[in-house]
Amino acid sequence: MIKRHFKDIYISKIVELLILHRTRQQDYILTKKKKMGAVASRIWGWPSFTSSRIIETKSGSVQGKTFIFEDGKEVEAYLGIPYGKPPVGELRFKKPEPADPWNDVMDCTQWGPRCPHEDMWIERLSMFVPKSEDCLRLNVFTPTWKHGLDQKNGFAVMVWIHGGGFAVHSAAHYGDYGICK
């Protein structure tokens, strides 16, 4: 029974690594959009992407990326937006304080750092996102809105908290492609 349990864990980690590898391939292809994005989109069915519009937040301006799928659907992704000051020193184990404002447009096309935790053995090989105590970041995904569209009742919002029991993984572990699709 114990051997079977470890075998199941081993197989699930291999599958996880393959999924993660596919996500990395997609990220690589997406970052090469100007050279091969349209070709990759047609061959593999992966989207191409362009820069999103600039959005104003209370702390400053952010710019993400817009995924463009073959069916014409567009999704904007803003990754790693800081929402709180780093929880270090006097701020450790306290309610987060708002992030310090910034003046320039923040590039929000890459995942923010993941919170420090003990990696599982397979994560040591597969995680590309650095760890930092400055990990209070928010990822926002939204359908591309038509400019000038006045939505009086607001827009639909989905809140997704990644798995891992606050002990393993980060949002980057699950990738942005699946959420956007």
Q: 41-45, 52-56, 80-84 — which one is most confidently predicted on average?
A: 80-84
* Residue 137: strand pairing partners: 82
**Mean pLDDT, residues 79-101 taken together:** 91
Mean pLDDT in residue range 103-111: 92
Radius of gyration of the chain (CA): 18
Sheet strands (E) in 57-123: 61-68, 74-82, 106-107
pLDDT, residue 123, reads: 58
| Phi, psi torsion values for 122, nearest 5 degrees | -75, -30
Yes or no: say if 148 and 90 are a contact pair by the CB < 8 Å rule: no
Q: Is the pLDDT of residue 2 over 90?
A: no
Q: Between 180 and 43, whose confidence is greater?
A: 180
Least confident range of 24-33, 96-105, 124-133: 24-33
- Pairing relation of β-strands 48-56 and 137-143? unpaired
Is the pLDDT score of 31 beyond 60?
no
* Dihedral pair phi/psi, residue 125, rounded to 5°: -90, -25
Label residues 8-23 b or e (16+ Cβ within 10 Å = b): eeeeebeebeeebeeb
Residue 141 makes CB contacts below 8 A (sequence gap 6+) with 75, 76, 77, 78, 176, 179, 180
- Checking if the pLDDT of 96 tops 80, the result is yes
User: For residue 80, which amino acid is it?
Assistant: G
Task: Kindly report which listed range (5-9, 46-50, 105-109) carries the lowest average pLDDT score.
Answer: 5-9
Mean confidence (pLDDT) of the chain: 70
Checking if the pLDDT of 62 tops 80, the result is: yes
Q: State the DSSP code for 58.
A: S
Residue that wins the pLDDT comparison between 7 and 47: 47
pLDDT at position 29: 42
